[in-house]
Amino acid sequence: MSVAADLKKIKANIPREIKLVAVSKTKSCDTIMEAYHAGHRIFGENKVQELQDKHGELPKDIEWHFIGHLQTNKVKYIAGFVHLVHSVDSIKLLSVLNKEAIKADRIISCLLQIKIAREDTKYGLSEEGAEELIRASVTDQMKNIRFAGVMGMATYTSDLDQVRQEFQNLSAIFKRLKEKYFSADDQFKEISMGMSHDYPVAIEEGATLIRIGSLIFGERTYNKLN
Ligand SMILES: *Cc1c(COP(=O)(O)O)cnc(C)c1O
């Protein structure tokens, strides 16, 4: 099927208020433009260089989301245009995002990446770690970053019961953080969870943003660099 047809099919399956991030990593600008011409405007990338190149080449009304591990020394390349960083997992990164946002005269919206998978993954905060980070942003008066919610990746497994438990955990963490720190802040509202193989479960468990790549663009051909 075509990119446009696949997009249409997925959009028909998700409630209107849920935002779909089309994960275009490793895909060409021509392929992205197929989705663009079908009316899609929200795309996700996980490599700074690739995102920078695509941002330079593609229409300026695209909303670019950064979904991968972000190295602090590379923040400056995307700070001027990135719409949402899904992967904030350290105080250092948050602080650099704030500094680069000030330089770019912008407010950068961020999600706290929480480690919910049972499998050993390198990135993501514990709930306590997320709280420390929120408190640090207040203490250090990081005025140019805005917390928009949380993000998580479930264990890569076909056991959807386990995936559901992990998504439930993320939803519960979101609710607690919301109550404790953002009860008067209507910007803290996003739960980014769900990928091609598990997004229906994510939606049932409260996702507001889902990140889908291969279901829209086909399987990616990976090399070691990806
Ligand atoms: C690649 C990626 C996705 C999309 O994965 P698919 O299985 O192709 O839908 C979603 N989120 C993150 C963080 C990713 O790196």
Give the pLDDT score at 201: 97
Atom index in ligand 1 nearest the CA of residue 87 equals 13
**Residue 226 pLDDT more than 60?**
no
What digits encode the pLDDT tens for the residues 216-225?
999 887 654 5
Atom of ligand 1 nearest to the CA of 212: 9
Write out 15-77 in H/E/C secondary structure.
CCCCEEEEECCCCCHHHHHHHHHCCCCEEEECCHHHHHHHHHHCCCCCEEEECCCCCHHHHHH
**Inter-residue contact 112 to 130 (CB < 8 Å):** yes
CB of 196 closer than 6 A to ligand 1? yes
Q: Which residue has the higher pLDDT, 12 or 221?
A: 12
Measured in angstroms, how far is the CA atom of residue 153 from the centroid of ligand 1?
9
Q: Which atom of ligand 1 is nearest to the CA of 25?
A: 1
Q: Ligand 1: does its nearest atom lie under 6 Å from the Cβ of 192?
A: no
Neighbours of 153 (CB within 10 A): 25
Gap from CA of 186 to ligand 1 centroid (Å):
27
Which residues make beta-bridge pairs with 19?
Answer: 209
**CA 103 to ligand 1 center in whole angstroms:** 30
**Is residue 26 lining ligand 1, measured as CB closer than 6 Å?**
no
Q: What is the pLDDT of residues 108-133, one digit of tens each?
A: 999 999 999 987 777 899 999 999 99
Amino acid (one-letter) located at 99: K
Question: How many angstroms is it from 135 CA to the middle of ligand 1?
Answer: 29
Side chain identity at residue 155, one-letter code: T
Provide the pLDDT for residue 223. 58
Going by C-alpha positions, the residue among 84, 32, 78 that lies closest to residue 57 is 32
pLDDT digits (tens, 9 = 90+) for 15-45: 999 999 999 999 999 999 999 999 999 999 9
Compute the average pLDDT of residues 139-157: 96
3 CA → ligand 1 middle, Å: 16
Taking the model in full, what pTM does it have? 0.96
- Average pLDDT value over all residues in the chain: 95
How is residue 225 annotated by DSSP? T
* CA 94 to ligand 1 centroid distance, Å: 22
Residues above pLDDT 70, as percent of the chain: 98
CA of 112 to the centre of ligand 1 (A): 17
Tokens at residue 138, please? 């207040």
Which residue's CA is the nearest one to ligand 1's atom 7?
A: 196
| Ligand 1 in reach of 211 Cβ (< 6 A) | yes
> Is the shortest distance between the CB of 214 and ligand 1 below 6 Å?
yes
